[in-house]
Structure 1
Amino acid sequence: MTTRHACRALALALALALAGNLALAHGDDAGQPAAATQEKASVRFADVSLLNQDGMPVRLEQDLVGEHLVVMGFIYTRCTTVCPVVSAIMGKVQQQLGGRVGQDIQLVSISVDPQHDDARRLQRYARAFQKGPGWSWLTGTPYAIGETLKGLGFSADLSRHPPLILVGDGRSGHWRRYYGVTDPAVLIDELNRLGARRVHVKSTAIADHHEVQP
């Protein structure tokens, strides 16, 4: 096993171990249990330019979300508690979905600490979790990140940074927030549900079209 792969395996093992018995240990929130909950979400995409891990400018809605199904997490590289867990969960999602990631599904991780997390730092961090294409790690100016987080309903306050993952459909605008340590299978089930909804809507539209034909 190469040193790089050994480091990746160690990072994933530590993150998954944390996920098994994590208490929400961030600043003032230390000691509160990270119970998994979920809710419907209304999101707004700020029209700002961000940077991905390759240093390329991207716009979240236009370049990444589009009409994809999306799993979106919030992290920062200096975090040693909930962030590795969130990233490990998303890594499991990528592993289980295989080639669908980068096709109809996109993964996005947004740094909430843009003053420290430049593109190069995110690229190094991503190596411990990412196993293929279709996963973008984003940073930007403090203003751009702040506006982005505000629209997605997430606080940029590092002292109050709960585990949070968004799952949604860029085409339909249906989104759901998952708080706490969420089983990757739950996120995949939601992606499959959103995908099935697309098929149903398309089938219904085709049937209605045929009904109105003379």
Structure 2
Amino acid sequence: MTTRHACRALALGLALASNLALAHGDRGSGGQGGHAGQPAAASQEKASVRFADVSLLNQDGMPVRLEQDLVGEHLVVMGFIYTRCTTVCPVVSAIMGRVQQQLGGRVGQDIQLVSISVDPQHDDARRLQRYARAFQKGPGWSWLTGTPYAIGETLKGLGFSADLSRHPPLILVGDGRSGHWKRYYGVTDPAVLIDELNRLGARRVHVKSTAIADHHEVQP
């Protein structure tokens, strides 16, 4: 991606993400709960994921394993991109960039962002690092590539096609601790993703509180 194309893609992606966030805010000001009014192009479903036991490379050229080193017990937002893409990929990256901006210091602490290239034959670590500069504004966001085999196995386990001609906008949000995941298709409002992260975080607190209460009840 050239600098001119990157700037144009970033502007488009940020404009879409901004408009979606504003639309979400307008809905929220009416006192109505939920996200029934989210854009028709967006949809979501519960997901079952499997993490392939393969080594990948991050944008710094360091070997990482997705489940062990990045997901772990974190809350995770995961997108799928490739650097030559000038349509849906910059939009997905801009949405994730907006999520990072709004969550601030939580990213890199309890929350991790992960972008996986679906074009490993072209996207080496150096290209991903250059591409990431247009969207990433802080720590806690890993951009991954690897061998075609490693990427293929990774995508298969996450339920994503490696076919570049059939590359829909898709973002996964989940909890590495509980194993609860959702897939978000289409141009998804960043606020929807943040709401899901907050819901997963609240679920953790509830589970912990319930476990403590149950423990006290069984004490003699």
TM-score for both structures, normalised by structure 2: 0.86
| Aligned residue number for residue 24 of structure 1 | 22
Aligned counterparts of 2:113 and 2:200: Cα–Cα separation in 1: 15
Unaligned runs of 5+ in 1: none
- 1:4 corresponds to which residue? 4
Q: Confirm or deny: 8 A CA contact 2:113 2:140 kept in the other structure.
A: yes
Q: Kindly tell me: are residues 126 and 21 of structure 1, through their superposed partners in 2, closer, same or farther at Cα, counting changes over 3 Å?
A: same
Say which SS state the counterpart of residue 142 (structure 2) adopts. strand
**CA 1:24–1:36: 2 relative to 1, 3 Å:** farther
Aligned to 2:173: 167
Change in Cα spacing, 1:172 to 1:23, as seen in structure 2 (3 Å) is closer
**Secondary structure of 1:113 counterpart:** coil
- Change in 2 beyond 3 A, CA 1:185/1:21: closer
Can you list the C-alpha shifts for 1:162-181, whole angstroms capped at 9, x where unaligned?
Answer: 00000000000000000000
**Alpha-carbon contact 1:71-1:165 (below 8 Å) kept:** yes
1:111-130 matches, within 5 Å, as 111-130=117-136
Deviation at 1:94, TM superposition (A): 0.1
Normalization by structure 1: what TM-score?
Answer: 0.89
- How many Å separate the matches in 2 of 1:147 and 1:26? 36
| Maintained 8 Å contact 1:27/1:159 | no
Structure 2: unaligned runs, 5 residues or longer: 27-35
The Cα RMSD (Å) is 5.8
Identical residues among aligned pairs (%): 98
| Offset, 1:16 | 3.0
Give the paired residue count.
211
User: Alpha-carbon deviations, 1:126-148, whole Å to 9, x = none?
Assistant: 00000000000000000000000
The secondary structure found in structure 1 opposite 2:146 is coil
